Amino acid sequence: MLEKYFDEFRVTEQELKEEIYSTLKSLNTFEPEQWTLDLLECANPHKPSQEIFSSLINAIPELPVGKMNLSELELIEALRLTAIQLTLRLNRKRLNYLFIKQLYMECSELILAIRYIFATEVLAQKLNRELRYDEEKIVSILTTEAHDRNQDSLVFRVVKAASEEIGRLFADDSAKQYAECILDFERAFEKYIEDNYYAVLRESFFRIANEAMLKNINILDSELHWEKGISKTDIREMSEQLLKAVRQNANRRLEIKKGGARKRKGFTWTDERKISFYKQVESLPRIITVCSCIGTNSHNV
């Protein structure tokens, strides 16, 4: 399974040098100040492999390969690891744009609902303006029915109505301070996502991989005949531990603290099971890796 995702790196030494150069060239287009032309010159594929590798680990000290015991690596392995690690960084840069754009497009109605709630609160409570629509109904539809494809026409009308109400606030000169407050919130909202999305995304990678393992562990269990099989109770408890770790990470990001640690009973691997599972993992093939819109008026809501 894993091998196919690394096949592109199982090439010749010269091809690895060319791949490293190409990846650095792409990184330069994203962040030219960090991935400079001088760095590109360090990776000139016409240079000797050892010179390229030594130059790169000196110029990019955060590369994990530079922290390894280099005496244990063959030169082609070092180049392969460098190519993989640089590709991970390039993929993250590409994902940064695609993922955040997709997130805002997928969650546009929810984000609009947040702006609408703030805007209507200011209109009604601070400016004593009469609202034109049923606020609770608008929010309910934006937050609960937005992804029901059978409700697309209704959601479209509601989006236009919410945008119209928001437009009233942003067009009111007496409400500039409130409008700026909303924009301050949205800027902070966006920055939090940009700063933390990848950590959450990696948690999601880890979570789905563990779910896939738990869902299919019975295949190994039935073939290996472990002395203590993995029961539904075991799977449930392992799943709960996984969700607990996700909650703890969210609490850490949100700076939510609680009392001291309490001793709890939960699923633990027996020594026998650990040894058996470890032997099976050790027998697997090895791969080296680190690892708004302001719309026209609509009154028909």
The structure tokens listed for 190 are: 């966006």
Per-residue confidence (pLDDT) for residue 240, from 0 to 100 = 81
Per-residue confidence (pLDDT) for residue 237, from 0 to 100 = 80
SS3 content of the chain, % helix, strand, coil (to 5): 70, 0, 30
* Domain spans, the chain: 2-104, 106-186, 195-256+266-282
Contacts of 228 (CB under 8 A, 6+ apart): 270, 272, 273
Per-residue confidence (pLDDT) for residue 147, from 0 to 100 = 74
CA angle 16, 18, 23 (to 5 degrees): 95
Judge contact between 111 and 104, C-beta under 8 A. yes
Per-residue confidence (pLDDT) for residue 27, from 0 to 100 = 95
Per-residue confidence (pLDDT) for residue 145, from 0 to 100 = 78
Q: Would you call 283 helix, strand, or coil by DSSP?
A: coil
Instruction: Split the chain (301 residues) into runs of 10 and give each run's mean pLDDT.
Output: 86 96 95 93 94 93 87 91 94 87 88 92 91 90 79 89 93 91 92 88 84 80 63 77 79 75 50 51 41 37 50
Judge contact between 162 and 116, C-beta under 8 A. yes
Per-residue confidence (pLDDT) for residue 159, from 0 to 100 = 93
Per-residue confidence (pLDDT) for residue 286, from 0 to 100 = 40
The count of C-alpha atoms lying within 13 angstroms of the C-alpha of 235, restricted to the half-sphere facing its C-beta, is 14
pTM for the full model?
A: 0.64
Per-residue confidence (pLDDT) for residue 215, from 0 to 100 = 82
Tokens 């990696």 found at: 202
DSSP assignment of 41-109: HHT-TTS-HHHHHHHHHHH-TT-GGGGS-GGGS-HHHHHHHHHHHHHHHHHHHHHHHHHHHHHHHHTHH
